[in-house]
């Protein structure tokens, strides 16, 4: 199976930016102030939990586009990926968020 960045037709650096954008969006949805946002963004345990969960949705994405991604343009692939990755906004670890904000 190809790496996610290859399926997205992105360089590893572009993919890192994609991940950071998703992480920032996720944290923004869980906070009410810039101070809270900073606490979540900088919490390694929470990031690791989030990244592990995102990998699940990335596997679903890979399974669905693996055989036809070459026929799609990068914009369409990114839209499909964001649909899969967007599901993570419904998931969170209450305990880790509480610890991060303490």
| pLDDT, position 32 | 95
Residues 21-31: tens digit of each pLDDT: 999 999 999 99
Residue 37, classified by CB atoms within 10 Å of its CB into exposed (0-12), middle (13-18) or buried (19+), is: middle
Residue 62 has φ and ψ, to the nearest 5°, of -60, -45
Rama region for 72: left / alpha / beta (φ>0; ψ in -120 to 50; rest): beta
Record the pTM: 0.88
Residues 78-102: tens digit of each pLDDT: 999 999 998 888 888 899 999 999 9
Q: What is the domain partition of the chain in residue ranges? A: 4-101
């Amino acid at each position: 199976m190809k790496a996610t960045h290859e399926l997205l037709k992105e360089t590893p650096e572009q993919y890192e930016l994609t991940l950071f954008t998703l992480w920032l969006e996720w944290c923004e949805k869980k906070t009410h102030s810039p101070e809270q946002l900073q606490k979540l963004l900088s919490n390694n345990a929470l990031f690791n939990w989030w990244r592990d969960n995102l990998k699940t949705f990335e596997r679903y994405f890979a399974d669905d586009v693996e055989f036809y991604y070459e026929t799609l343009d990068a914009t369409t692939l990114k839209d499909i990926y964001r649909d899969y990755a967007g599901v993570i906004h419904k998931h969170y670890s209450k305990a880790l968020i509480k610890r991060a904000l303490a």
